[in-house]
Amino acid sequence: MAHVLNAYALPASVRPRKLAGGTVVVIDVLRASTTIVHALEAGATEVIPCQKVNEARAVAARLPCGGVILGGERRGLPIKGFDLGNSPEEYVPCRVEGKTVVFTTTNGTRAILRARQAQRVLIGAFVNASAVLNQLLGQEQIHLLCAGTRGLPSRDDLLLAGMLVDRILQQADPSYQPNAQAVAARETWLQAFAPPGDLGAEPLAPQRLAEQLRNSAGGRNLIAIGLDGDILAAAQIDCFRSVPEMDPEKTRIRLM
């Protein structure tokens, strides 16, 4: 029987119940997915995703004083009164080690919470791309859920989704049947990086990937607010080998 391999350019492209029983990878390359990986790799105990700013403040207020960090953004910029923004390299051990990060962003955390009916919810970025791929191979139902940017598809997310689709079809049983959006995402990846850029064969230089990420809705927004450095941070392929996973019932994200 053919396995499911679906990609969705936006969370609104899929009804939450269609994700039930499957493995979902939430993708927000610029920047929530990348930042969550950085935070947990820097020693944060968990990340709690929230949709709204006031919700995040309320959640943080219920946690032990001194053991929580408020992080996130609105319109790309740090939120007034929060400890950190949404720049991956802000999340370093001296700031987050041993702490819970309560996190809210414009696009990424909304996409994560939309996947709560899934059996597994993984957080994917270029910084942990191969580790995510290893978790997906052999899964019967794979859903790649792109966060987009302010309600529109964003090239940064589609590139990662396309790379994962391409690698799954190359390395897994050919019985996987990609949906139309998965096929389109794969074409986006191959048009940008074929024949070079084959992970595991010829490493893709971060600067080359960053050029493509800049040419996305998310990338243009970051350049406009002076955060171009975050784009290069998000283009460091496979600098981490862990995969954050959310407990769908408790909505807590931790390293596997």
pLDDT at 140: 94
CB burial of residue 200 (10 Å; 0-12, 13-18, 19+): exposed
Which residues in the chain show pLDDT less than 50? 196-197, 199-200
DSSP assignment, residue 91? Answer: -
pTM of the model: 0.95
Out of 3.40.50.1100, 3.90.1560.10, 3.40.50.720, 3.40.605.10, select the CATH number for domain 4-250.
3.90.1560.10
Shortest CA distance to 234 belongs to which of 142, 136, 159? 159
The domain segmentation of the chain, as residue ranges, is: 4-250
pLDDT at 197: 47
Q: Which residue has the tokens 């403040």?
A: 57
pLDDT at 203: 76
Check: CB of residue 32 under 8 Å from CB of residue 105: yes
pLDDT at 174: 64
Determine the Cα–Cα distance for residues 48 and 101; give it in Å rounded to an integer: 6
Check: CB of residue 163 under 8 Å from CB of residue 170: no
pLDDT at 234: 98
Q: Tokens for 219, please give them.
A: 């990338």
pLDDT at 200: 46
pLDDT at 172: 72
Q: Tokens for 231, please give them.
A: 């784009």
Torsion region of 200: left, alpha or beta (phi above 0 gives left; psi -120 to 50 gives alpha)? left
- Give the largest Cα separation in the chain, rounded: 52
Rg over CA atoms, the chain: 17
